[in-house]
Amino acid sequence: MTTISLRARQGAAAACLSLLFLALPGAQPAAAAAPLYPLADPDRFYAAPADLGRHHNGEVLRSRAVPAGPFSGARVWQLLFRSENSAGKPIAAATTLLEPSGGAGSSSGIRPLLSYQPFVNALGLQCAPSHSLFNGSMPEASALNVLLQRGWAVAVPDHLGPTSAYGAAKLGGQIVLDGLRAVRGFAPAGLHASPVGLLGYSGGAMASGFAAALAPTYAPELPIVGVAQGGLPVDLGQIAIDMGLKPSPLFGLGFAAAMGLEREYPARMHFTDNLNPAGKQLRGRIANACTDEIIKAGSNLDLQKIGRPGVFDADDSTKRVIHENSLAMFRGVPRAPVYEWHGALDQVSVPLAQRMAGRYCRAGGRVLFDVIPDADHGLAIPLGLPRAYAYLADRFAGRPAPSNC
């Protein structure tokens, strides 16, 4: 397989630690401040059409072919499609579809379709996968060639949505599913009969995990045959408790995730109201930033440095938002079989993930839970991905799914 770079490993670790402060906004004041949204993408391809509400979820709104870039020999399209946000309102979202030349990569002659969810730790729309796949800023982009070489089509959705709502995992799951509907309905690709798999790590696993758990009710028609998710944070509030409130080099990512949730839940999240001037300055600095700038801007800060009195008090509305975006609290159960892997030294709680897997098992799901010895959150990526590829290949081939339930 292609080796993922050290930067990618560090990015994945940052993705899980990015949730550090989500459960800690203060009590709601009488007049809530408005969220700070990103600058609009100057590329009008991403703009929602005026008649967006007339379209159904997963319907392609516009499409374009783009140069293959680092995916030599592949046909590449970008699709804008309708989805919906966490309030059920229509949004326009994007996905990038990579389709290899040559054979279908399966004995049936039907090309498998894999939705790959990258870990995206960003607030700026220029950081989305549809950009970072081609400009060199997505660390794991080259690894997708391994999947194309298998003959699989690969969809890479912009799963943070049109406001880059970093931290809104349930939204990510909905966008993943509607993106798959769009890709399978896109006639030039010829994938209408393709079996579907899901793959993601850390923040990407959150979007994948929510897609899998939502699918039976949100998109029951999708033929999802397997899910591979690694380093999955299942309880955002518990992460906040476990990680504590000491200064951290990754504080900026936690701060950014709170901003992202506030964008997605403007009437229910009130993080901004409890910032002091230093916090508001940080908010303005990273509102359109990608990972590296966010980390640099927030390095070694803590909530006491950026919050006013009351910043440690979580209100009920904020708690409900956290629960809605934590798979441990979401009652949906994947219908498709699941391979989940963690490093034994993962900074993300392995027992909490095991507990959720046990709930899936008791509900009739098939889960293969894999703990990799001596691996932390970053090292588990390159060690687990070959197993994830093999697991998905077996599901595409129609082989029975193993389970250690």
Q: How many domains does the chain have?
A: 1
Q: Beta strands of 202-277 (E only): which ranges?
A: 224-230
Predicted confidence at residue 10, as pLDDT, reads 44
Residue 320 near residue 41, CB atoms below 8 Å:
no
Predicted confidence at residue 103, as pLDDT, reads 67
Tens digit of each residue's pLDDT (9 = 90 or more) over 78-105: 999 999 999 999 999 999 999 998 766 6
The C-alpha atoms of residue 166 and residue 260 are separated, in whole angstroms, by: 4
Is 245 a member of any domain?
no
Averaged pLDDT, 114-127: 96
The C-alpha atoms of residue 213 and residue 365 are separated, in whole angstroms, by: 11
Tell me the longest C-alpha to C-alpha distance in the chain: 63
Is 249 a member of any domain?
no
What integer best gives the mean pLDDT of the chain? 88
Averaged pLDDT, 278-300: 93
Ranking 16-20, 41-45, 268-272, 344-348 by mean pLDDT, the lowest is 16-20
Tens digit of each residue's pLDDT (9 = 90 or more) over 216-244: 999 999 999 999 999 999 987 766 555 54
Is 317 a member of any domain?
no
Is 275 a member of any domain?
no
Which CATH number belongs to the domain containing residue 54 in this structure? 3.40.50.1820
55 phi and psi, to 5 degrees? -95, 160
Predicted confidence at residue 109, as pLDDT, reads 78
Predicted confidence at residue 300, as pLDDT, reads 87
pLDDT at 248 > cutoff 50: yes
Give the residue with greater pLDDT, 248 vs 374: 374
Residue 151 near residue 106, CB atoms below 8 Å:
yes
Tokens of 56: 């159904």
Tokens of 144: 């997708």
Predicted confidence at residue 236, as pLDDT, reads 76
pTM for this predicted structure: 0.92
Phi-psi region of 88 (alpha: psi -120 to 50; beta: other; left: phi over 0): left
Is 78 a member of any domain?
yes
Is 267 a member of any domain?
no
Is 248 a member of any domain?
no
The C-alpha atoms of residue 348 and residue 17 are separated, in whole angstroms, by: 8
The C-alpha atoms of residue 59 and residue 227 are separated, in whole angstroms, by: 24
Tokens of 351: 């027992």
Q: Which amino acid is at 297?
A: A
Secondary structure class of 271 (helix, strand, coil): coil
Is 288 a member of any domain?
no
Q: Tell me the residue range of the domain where 68 lies.
A: 6-235+323-396
The C-alpha atoms of residue 392 and residue 227 are separated, in whole angstroms, by: 7
Predicted confidence at residue 347, as pLDDT, reads 82
The C-alpha atoms of residue 80 and residue 350 are separated, in whole angstroms, by: 36
Which one, of 186, 179, 181, lies nearest residue 116 by Cα?
Answer: 179
Going by pLDDT thresholds of 50, 70 and 90, the confidence category of residue 309 is low
